[in-house]
Amino acid sequence: MKQPSPIKGFKVDKSTIISLEKGKIPPQAIDLEEVVLGAMMIDKKGVDEVIDILSPDAFYKDAHKYIFEAIFKLFENSEPVDLLTVSSQLKKDEKLDLVGGDFYLISLTQRVSSSAHIEFHARIILQKYIQRSLIKISSEIIEEAYDETKDVFDLLDNAEAKLYEVTQGNVKKSTETAQSLVIQAKKKIEEISNKEGLSGIPSGFDKLDKLTSGWQPSDLVIIAARPGMGKTALTLTMARNIAVNSNIPVAFFSLEMSSVQLITRLISSETGLSSEKLRTGKLEKHEWEQLNVKVKTLEKAPLFIDDTPSLSIFDLRAKARRLASQYGIKMVIIDYLQLMTAGGSQKGGNREQEISTISRNLKALAKELNVPVIALSQLSRAVETRGGSKRPLLSDLRESGAIEQDADIVSFIYRPEYYKIDEWDDEERSPTEGQGELIVAKHRNGGLDNIRLKFIGHLGKFDNLDDFDTPFGEFHSKMNAAANDDTFKPDNYPSASDAFDGPEDDGVPF
């Protein structure tokens, strides 16, 4: 069939030509577009109800796009929206003649008498827009799939990303003006000022939350340490605090330990029963009762664990998108970065390039889902060989400087006790037993600090150093009381050097 020639003055795109050839036209609801715009111009309530649902691109007819843009500008500037103000705004934009003049605006207002059912009508317009978007995306996917030079894993990732954007009603944002961004920023600041507590997601560690104001959306956070320092313990404790205490959905991707091992460690942390007892199952009657009662809070927690081994960055992004769509996850934790693969076209590159790709994609994932992403990372052996202080440095990050570059926050875990250092190197020379330090070495949007934490080795968890209001405050109090008792025998209590049970990392318990 011969393709129809474009009419002079009108732009005919490829999708329109295909639609004409097949006897189909793109999904649309012109009559509802007219009704919605008319209602917005006669009733302020109508503007408030649909301004956040629709965007100019949601309208099929160009004239309607221009009218909605004028209404949106008036709304942004807190100016009244009616027939006269919309007409005036269109004149300023030099688009009044393009929409059909004042006569067309008047005809829109005459079509309705109120804004009743305007939200329902707007949802239908949005559905038609999503249908058109799916048609466009499908055409692009088909065209790219025929291109033999494209990597198939890149195609899959791009296709899923585009479809995810549609499900979020967020198909490729256009460039925003400084004015609209300032309005958004002011609105966010107002929300934060009216909100009690933290602006981000609380980690459960008071001093850390004070420094960061909680983990912020779209931030990539790297927590790095040598094997044996307790990377998994720290992030599991945070995941537990966020999911159980704050009831915020968290996704935990474990490339090292199985999901059952992780949940067993969380049960140990939650119940106060040692991992050895849980592993052997040798529990007393009262301990079984303790297990059954205290594990109920963990059962109800919105915590999602994925233990897929050798997970590629493309698979992780796909899984995270699904979890965000289905369960509304607000945080992603990855344990740990060096066990991931780049996948796709990056398989042939060297390891440094692969880690750079993974790091870059993790930051992109944080921005795409607008959630904080925490990735654990190994440190190089330079820490072990260095004389004097064993505190990690940014230069110790393993395999790629891209990790430091892409991350918004880089922090290290340091436990002097692991290196048989009995005292902290400060003026007080306080004992290091049962303590660790979280070193915030890079913070793009805030200050730096060294934060001391309590490390409870036999339970595989961290806690606030001076926090006796936690479920294990009683345990700490008993330990202190026993320490002051003449009959106290240190051998009767587990030492922090016993650290963890479970899989080993480079020959050292994680």
Catalytic site residues?
A: 256
Q: Which residues contact 37 (CB under 8 A, 6 or more apart)?
A: 64, 67, 68, 71, 108
Residue among 322, 388, 282 at smallest CA distance from 273? 282
Q: Per-residue DSSP letters for 104-133?
A: HHHHHHHT-SS-TTHHHHHHHHHHHHHHHH
User: If you ran DSSP here, which 8-state letter would residue 253 be given?
Assistant: E
Say what angle helices 30-42 and 101-110 make with each other, to 10 degrees: 90
What Å distances lie between residue 250 and 178, 257, 317, 438, 468, CA to CA?
33, 17, 15, 21, 26
260 is written with which tokens? Answer: 């059952």
**Largest separation between any pair of C-alpha atoms in the chain:** 100
Question: In this structure, how many other beta carbons lie within 10 angstroms of the beta carbon of residue 19?
Answer: 14
> Do 157 and 344 meet the contact criterion of CB atoms below 8 Å apart?
yes
Rounded to whole angstroms, how far apart are CA atoms 191 and 416?
41
Rounded to whole angstroms, how far apart are CA atoms 496 and 415?
10
Residue among 470, 368, 451, 381 at smallest CA distance from 409? 451
Half-sphere exposure (CA, 13 Å, Cβ side) for 167?
15
